[in-house]
Structure 1
Amino acid sequence: MKITDITLDRLRLQLDPPLRAAWDPEPRTSFDATIVRVHTDEGVTGIGSGDTMDGFDAFRDLFLGQDPLDIVRHVKAIETANFHGGYYWPLEVALWDIIGKVARLPVATLLGNAARAVPAYASSAELKPPAERVEVALHARELGFRAMKIRIDRDRVEDGIATVAAVREALGPGFEIMVDLNQSWRMAGDTATASDLVTTRRIVRRLAEHDVFWVEEPLPYNDLDGFKVLRAENPGVRIAAGEMQHSLPELLRYLEHDVLDIYQMDVVLAIGMHRARTLAELAQLKHRQFTPHSWTNGIGVLANLHVAAGVGGGPYFEFPFDPPGWTPQRRDFMLAEPVMVNRAGELEVPQTPGLGIELDEDAVRRWRIG
């Protein structure tokens, strides 16, 4: 089998009303998605998505004519291209989709088959006042979710803690709450300085009083000692990070120095499926957990799901969900059906060959911009 072509569809969905994501410097008025298709001489086509794939045209020839099943070779080639361009992990996703289709098995089965479904948490996007956040949390629980992640703005900490307290009071101890401080990395144009370690220590101690399950990205990635301080001071709170950590050596250093409780590398944005699987297994061998970031679209959700289910990641899986601003229909506008949890609040691994991606070709044509 040979790769005959790699094509990109660039899509843009207009958002009205806009999404006011906590980590964005400006409200998001559109949502972009790049669909990667890897075509083969045997008629099997793999599909991937996630990062923008900007600049990939210069590297297409590295893969044309190659056997798509040679995944280790392709991962190494993508890493060399990443060094000189963007982050081309959506290509690896499409290659795994082909591998699963050729094997006639779900990719999660090929990666270990540790679970056929994983409990999901509703991952919020916007900063909402307490009453509104409680309303969304109650709706999420009605749909089956057993946990929700709440964003806190470093400049509005009191508002954020009040929101966490309100959700805890309204939903009780049986509903898990995660908190994301979004301090490890920045969107383009966001030049604000992260809260210092003293301030962050106080925030985490106060969140511990509300029995939060984990605190995510409390510090910049380079503050390894600070992460370790937070873990040591707050034994009842897990510390999570790593979603956009692109450096394999740096992630290995995190593991060697036991920096985190939960590792969150996104397989389509940060480190790829093959490498994420390896790092996840290393984390688990150290009695730490892997639960990947999955804030892209439904294809990115599925790619992360197959890796997490394959290796037995958990204890929860991120499911971007914050209606009315962020719904499965908006997130998965390119799919025939949006990815959704079952009534038990679990995300089931599609039991079809590959990743289980089914595009809505009419939507692809409608929203194509290039």
Structure 2
Amino acid sequence: MKITDITLDRLRLELDPPFRAAWDPEPRRHFDATIVRVHTDEGITGIGSGDLMDGFDTYKHLFVGEDPLDITRHVKAIETANFHGAHYWPLEAALWDIIGKVHGRPVAELFGNAAKKLPAYASCGELKSPGERVATALKVREAGFRAMKIRIDRNRVDEGVAAVRAVRDELGADFEIMVDLNQSWRMAGDTAGATDLARTRKTIARLAELDVFWVEEPLPYCDVAGFKRLRAENPGVRIAAGEMHHSPTELLRYLEEDALDIYQMDVVLAIGMHRARTLAELAQLKHRHFTPHSWTNGIGVLANLHVAAGVGGGPYFEYPYDPPGWTPERRDFMLADPVRVGGDGDLEVPARPGLGIELDEDAIDRWRIT
């Protein structure tokens, strides 16, 4: 089998009303997605998405003419291209899609088949008042979720903690709450400094009193010693990070330093499926968790789900959901059917071979950037 071509569909969904993501300097008025298709001489096409694949045409020749099943070779080639360009991990997802289709099995089975489904948590994206966040939490629980993640702005900590307290009071102790401080990385152009360690320690101490399940990205990635200190001082609160770590060796350093409870590397944005699997298994051998970041689109959600289910990740899987601003229909506008959580709050691995992606070609034609 040979790769005959790699094509990209660049899509843009206009957002009206805009989505006010907590990490964006400005409201998001459109949502971009790039669909990667790897074509082969045997008629099997692999599909991937996640990162925008900017500048990939320069590197396409590295893969055309090669056997798509030579995945280790392709991972190494993607890493060399990433060094000079963007992050081309959606290509690896498309290659795994082909591998699964060739073998007639879901990719999660090839990654270990540890689980057929994982409990999902509703990952909220907007900053909301305590009353608004409680209203969302009630909708989330009604939809079947048993856990949700709440964002806290570094400049509005009191309001954020109040939102967590309001949800805890309304939904009780059986409903798990995660908190994301979004302090490890910045969107382009956001030059504001992260909250210092002293203030962060106070915030986490307040959240510990509310029995949060984990606190995510409380510090910049460079502050490994700070992460370790937060873990040591708050034994009842798990510390999570790593979603945008692009270096496997840096993640190995975190593992060696035992800096985190939960490792969150995204397989279509950060380090790819193959490397994520290795690091996830190392984390589990150290009795630590792997539960990947999945804030892209439904294809990225599925790629992360296959790896997490394959290796037995958890204890929860991230499901981007914050109605009405962020819904499955917006997130998965390129799919025939949005990726949905079941009434029991679990996200099932698709039974179809490969990643289980079914595109909506009419939607792709409608929203393609020309």
TM-score (norm 1): 1.00
Q: How does 1:262-273 map to 2 (within 5 A)?
A: 262-273=262-273
Paired residue type of 1:209: E
Matching residue of 1:150:
150
Describe the superposition over 1:167-222 as per-residue Cα deviations: whole angstroms up to 9, x where unpaired.
00000000000000000000001111000000000000000000000000000000
Matching residue of 2:71:
71
Matching residue of 1:111:
111
Q: Does 1:208 align with 2:211?
A: no
Describe the superposition over 1:98-121 as per-residue Cα deviations: whole angstroms up to 9, x where unpaired.
000000000000000000000000
Matching residue of 1:340:
340
Partner SS for 1:133: helix
Distance in structure 1 (CA, Å) of the matches to 2:174 and 2:335: 33
Q: How does 1:1-20 map to 2 (within 5 A)?
A: 1-20=1-20
Q: How does 1:242-261 map to 2 (within 5 A)?
A: 242-261=242-261
Q: How does 1:22-33 map to 2 (within 5 A)?
A: 22-33=22-33
Partner SS for 2:231: helix
Distance in structure 2 (CA, Å) of the matches to 1:296 and 1:330: 11
Describe the superposition over 1:239-293 as per-residue Cα deviations: whole angstroms up to 9, x where unpaired.
0000000011100000011000000000000000000000000000000000000
Distance in structure 2 (CA, Å) of the matches to 1:103 and 1:226: 45
Partner SS for 2:25: coil
Give 1:44 shift: 0.0
Partner SS for 1:219: coil
Q: How does 1:166-245 map to 2 (within 5 A)?
A: 166-245=166-245
Distance in structure 1 (CA, Å) of the matches to 2:33 and 2:87: 14
Structure 1 unmatched ranges of 5 or more: none
Matching residue of 1:297:
297
Partner SS for 1:76: helix
Q: How does 1:116-131 map to 2 (within 5 A)?
A: 116-131=116-131
Q: Please, what is the CA RMSD of the aligned residues?
A: 0.4
Percent identical across equivalent pairs?
79
Matching residue of 1:62:
62
Matching residue of 1:306:
306
Structure 2 unmatched ranges of 5 or more: none
Matching residue of 2:278:
278
Distance in structure 2 (CA, Å) of the matches to 1:91 and 1:331: 20
Distance in structure 2 (CA, Å) of the matches to 1:163 and 1:189: 28
Q: How does 1:71-90 map to 2 (within 5 A)?
A: 71-90=71-90
Matching residue of 1:132:
132
Paired residue type of 1:202: K
Partner SS for 1:50: coil
Partner SS for 1:17: strand
Distance in structure 2 (CA, Å) of the matches to 1:128 and 1:249: 37
Paired residue type of 1:19: F
Where has structure 1 moved over 2 Å in runs of 4 or more?
none
Distance in structure 1 (CA, Å) of the matches to 2:106 and 2:249: 30
Give 1:97 shift: 0.2
Partner SS for 1:279: helix
Distance in structure 2 (CA, Å) of the matches to 1:130 and 1:205: 19
TM-score (norm 2): 1.00
Paired residue type of 1:222: C
Partner SS for 1:302: helix
Partner SS for 2:364: helix
Matching residue of 2:330:
330
Q: Does 1:96 align with 2:96?
A: yes
Q: How does 1:41-60 map to 2 (within 5 A)?
A: 41-60=41-60
Partner SS for 1:18: strand
Paired residue type of 1:52: L
Distance in structure 1 (CA, Å) of the matches to 2:10 and 2:279: 31
